[in-house]
Amino acid sequence: LARQLARDGEGANTLIEVVVGGAASAEDARICARTISSSPLVKTMVTGRDPNWGRVLMAAGRSGAAIDLTAASVWIGEHIAFDRGAPASTSEAAISAAMDAEEVAIRIDLASGDATATAWGCDLTAEYVSINADYTT
């Protein structure tokens, strides 16, 4: 049901699945996954097929979850974008192509424990802005 609700978002084109692993606690994993999946910068990253993994790390940091940036990793689709504290050698074109799908998986290892959580969201499109800006409430 959570996946379907996220997929049916106003103006949405892409379902985003965020899997957080390596969290210090179940609560850290949950709040981090939800913060990433609801981040406007992550949502627009997916809309624009922009391989900016820094937006994922920003949202993870904003969540307040414990994260070891010297050991953390980020995957977009099957491609590692940030590998144990450093940018990966994966091509930006490959990462961008991975986001050209109806469903995009984003995975992050916080390198702080063993807890995991999954959250779903959708991209943020110009259509969404139009739907919500072109009428008076």
The enclosing domain of 28 has a CATH number of 3.10.20.340
pLDDT single digits (tens) 50-105: 999 999 999 999 999 999 999 999 999 999 999 999 999 999 999 999 999 999 99
pLDDT value of residue 1: 66
Domains held by the chain: number: 1
CA distance 35 to 38: 5
pLDDT value of residue 136: 77
pLDDT value of residue 36: 99
Residue pair 57/12 in contact (Cβ under 8 Å)? The answer is: no
pLDDT single digits (tens) 11-34: 789 999 999 999 999 999 999 999
The parent domain of residue 21 ranges over 2-133
pLDDT interval class at 10 (50, 70, 90): confident
